[in-house]
Amino acid sequence: MQTPLLVEPAPAFCTPEMKEMTALKSLFDACDKDKSGSLDVEELKVLIKEAKVSATAEDALYEYNILDVFENSWDSEETEMTKMDYTEFCLFVKDKIGTGTTKQTEALTKLVTTMKAASAA
């Protein structure tokens, strides 16, 4: 039987970087309630509340979607500026929650559990 590429939590043989990547992906998936592949304002608000981040969802979307602001036409009704993709999410988490240490990765893993419980409620 083959081992899955992404398991939760990361197995003991993984490097710290692999564990962090697993925690980030698991957190993103736990936040993405509608499984659209991006986070909307409401999904982001839940993360910000649960992670106790001092930011608003709207400000986070603007700050981390700055390339979308310049790439999209203001004429379109809905652009990707109203959503946060996985890459933007990783930047947001790194800046606002923190990554890079074993302790921070453990905190991300705990946050995954919290987000899953919040999604189920």
3-state secondary structure of 91: helix
The verdict on pTM exceeding 0.85 is: no
Among 48, 31, 46, smallest CA distance to 85 is for 31
Task: Tell me how many degrees the CA angle 49-28-82 measures, rounded to the nearest 5.
Answer: 75
Tokens of residue 58, six digits: 């709207």
3-state secondary structure of 39: strand
Choice between 119 and 15, residue whose per-residue pLDDT is larger: 15
Per residue in 20-51, pLDDT tens? 888 899 999 999 999 999 999 999 999 999 99
pLDDT of residue 82: 79
Amino acid 27 reads L
pLDDT of residue 3: 43
